[in-house]
Chain A
Amino acid sequence: MDWSPLLISLATSLVATAVTLVAGLAAAAWRQNRAGAGAALIDGIFILPLVLPPTVVGFLLLLLFGRNGPLGKLLLQFGASVVFSWPATVIAATVVAFPLMYITARAALEQVDPHLLQAARTLGASEARIFREVALPLAWPGVLAGTILSFARALGEFGATLMLAGNIPGKTETIPIAIYFAVEADEIQRAMAWCAVDVGISIILLGGLYYWTHAQRLRRERWGQH
């Protein structure tokens, strides 16, 4: 059996999750202490990929990164093209996983007692240090839950990936795409094998998430936060 879909899926999801974690945290930190219609509109845009059909997301990405798209043209000047390449799987997975990271990180940061941030300010700490040493450690369980959810979402990405990256075995063929084309080709055994792999990974992830949040709860009882 060719294991490349597993490796491609894991590599894609890991990179997409890493990008999502940084971007989601940055967006959530930026969004803190901001109110108004502008911020609400940006909220909507950030969360949009969660509610749009993946085919719509994929199509929009295709318009953006295609030969005549604004980003596609820009990349072409550097001799690069992402459509139907491995980076396209990462872009598709990142875009669909981002809202989950953003929503959970924002909720976790909002839970942090504002008096703690103010106390840190009076003690001379810079905003960056307050985020690193006060807000983030206290919001960490929520941020981690968001990371795991994002990873799971990236792993399961199908529609947008197919639109933007296509199905190139050994290059852009992730597990969900492998399953789809196995069923198409009537290779039921192969489809079932990949299904089993996907279910296994998801159970391990969600089990790990549950175990971790439980352990965190015990630790946070020591801190006095529930």
Chain B
Amino acid sequence: MTLEVEIEKKLAEFTLDVAFRATETPLSVLGASGAGKSMLLRCIAGLEKPGRGRITLNDRVLFDSARRVGIPARERRIGMLFQNYALFPHRTVAQNIAFGLHDLPHDEQSTRTAALVSRTHLAGLEQRYPRELSGGEQQRAALARALAIQPEALLLDEPLSALDTHLRGQVEAQLQETFATFRRPALLVTHNMEEAYRLGEQLLVLARGRVAAFGSKEEIFRRPPSSEVARLTGCKNISRARANPDGTVEALEWACRLRLAQMPATPPNFIGIRAHHIDFLESAAEAATDSNVLRCWIARTSETPFRITLFLSLDPARAEAGEAHLQAEVFKEKWERFRDRTQPWRVRLAPESLFTMAE
């Protein structure tokens, strides 16, 4: 089961130019809004025509500009979950699910619909209209409807963005359950890196229509291949950098020398560290013995229910002005322990947490 995509399509602001291959493991497509994510799904589903390229699903050529092949959407057997779910408002849940089963005999339509209703936990809601369902139920109904045609691939366009926060957990569990049994190419488009990480195995980062990263999600989050990907995967601390002859790296915006766990193969033009990897040293002795320790002053803070983001300045004058060099994130319990200590504080950018990027 493989979906292979290699397409180009001119958009208003840039050209969508993407090549990748998806197999049985779910693939998250992460990108900022307007990066071309939805257009990519629409091209695969056959709702938009790429300018050039080729799309194959298993042995079937769905689109090939060179051979002038363009299978219409209705023959692609690709299930698509729309961002607003696009349930037919004048049909009940059961009628929505059965829409794609039109060509089957009546009793088989009912059996399949019933199976999908129970699989998506919609029992008792079959006769309701979409309007009478909660957001999560609508989403499950749309998923059941897409699965009814026994699609050879599944495309999900921002499946969680229309839901309240407390529903997302439930819906995510439903999607994970679906992916676990689906075992066919499944693409999930999102602008939320945590969703992308939780729901996908593989990750494709899209930036202005181009593949900025593609591979295992762990690897991309641990060692982003570029500063752009680092930013898109939520890295808050990125500085321009330069290699020193002694094997250390000069972080230009942070005005310091940093030791790395190992020297990278590519030139380290950028260096980064994630906000939660910044260590706050509690004793001066600790600070004295270690490298990669910086003195910092607090510029401002921003609280979430359980954690606090600290905006740190590497010189007191800029801290005064509220300008920060680094963002650190700590649990509030820890913050309570050192918040009253006199500044400057000492933070450590551990060599094993630092990563460099060529571009």
| Residues of chain A whose beta carbon lies under 8 Å from any beta carbon of chain B | 113, 115-116, 118-126, 129, 133-134, 137-138, 220-225
Q: With contacts A125-B74, A133-B99 known, what are 14 further pairs, Cβ within 8 A?
A: A116-B86, A118-B47, A118-B82, A119-B88, A121-B46, A121-B47, A121-B72, A122-B74, A123-B149, A125-B102, A137-B90, A138-B90, A222-B132, A224-B129
Q: Which of B287-319 contact A (CB under 8 A)?
A: none
Determine if B159 is an interface residue (Cβ-Cβ < 8 Å): no
Q: Which of A126, A134, A221 contacts B88 (CB 8 A)?
A: A134
List residues of chain B with CB within 8 A of the CB of A137.
90
Q: Is the CB of B77 within 8 A of A124?
A: yes
List residues of chain B with CB within 8 A of the CB of A113.
86
Contacts known (A222-B131, A223-B129); A122 close to B102, Cβ less than 8 A:
no
List residues of chain A with CB within 8 A of the CB of B76.
122
Q: How far is the CA of A118 from the CA of B46 in the complex (A)?
A: 9
Determine if B51 is an interface residue (Cβ-Cβ < 8 Å): no
Q: How far is the CA of A120 from the CA of B45 in the complex (A)?
A: 12
Q: How far is the CA of A220 from the CA of B131 in the complex (A)?
A: 10
Q: Is the CB of B86 within 8 A of A121?
A: no
Q: How far is the CA of A118 from the CA of B142 in the complex (A)?
A: 13
Please list 30 pairs of residues, one from A and one from B, whose beta carbons are closer than 8 Å in the complex, sorted by A's number. A115-B82, A115-B84, A116-B89, A118-B47, A118-B82, A118-B86, A119-B82, A119-B145, A121-B73, A122-B47, A122-B74, A122-B79, A122-B146, A123-B149, A124-B75, A124-B100, A124-B103, A124-B149, A125-B74, A133-B99, A134-B88, A137-B90, A138-B89, A220-B89, A221-B131, A222-B129, A223-B89, A223-B90, A223-B130, A224-B89
* Chain B, residue nearest A120 (CB): B99
List residues of chain B with CB within 8 A of the CB of A138.
89-90
Q: How far is the CA of A126 from the CA of B74 in the complex (A)?
A: 7
Q: How far is the CA of A129 from the CA of B80 in the complex (A)?
A: 19
Determine if B78 is an interface residue (Cβ-Cβ < 8 Å): yes
List residues of chain A with CB within 8 A of the CB of B79.
122
Interface size on B, residues (CB 8 A): 30
Q: Is the CB of B129 within 8 A of A123?
A: no
Q: Which of B104-147 contact A (CB under 8 A)?
A: 129-132, 145-146
List residues of chain A with CB within 8 A of the CB of B74.
121-126
Q: What 9 pairs between A and B have smallest CB-CB spacing?
A: A224-B131, A123-B100, A223-B89, A119-B86, A115-B86, A121-B73, A122-B80, A124-B74, A137-B90
Q: In the complex, how many angstroms separate the beta carbon of A143 from the nearest chain B beta carbon?
A: 14
Q: Is the CB of B145 within 8 A of A123?
A: yes
Q: Is the CB of A118 within 8 A of B129?
A: no
Q: Which of B84, B86, B102 contacts A124 (CB 8 A)?
A: B102
Q: In the complex, how many angstroms separate the beta carbon of A125 from the nearest chain B beta carbon?
A: 6
Q: How far is the CA of A122 from the CA of B99 in the complex (A)?
A: 11
* Chain A, residue nearest B42 (CB): A118
Q: In the complex, how many angstroms separate the beta carbon of A217 from the nearest chain B beta carbon?
A: 14
Q: How far is the CA of A125 from the CA of B73 in the complex (A)?
A: 9
List residues of chain B with CB within 8 A of the CB of A115.
82, 84, 86
Q: How far is the CA of A133 from the CA of B90 in the complex (A)?
A: 10
Q: How far is the CA of A126 from the CA of B89 in the complex (A)?
A: 19
Q: How far is the CA of A125 from the CA of B74 in the complex (A)?
A: 6
Q: How far is the CA of A196 from the CA of B47 in the complex (A)?
A: 55
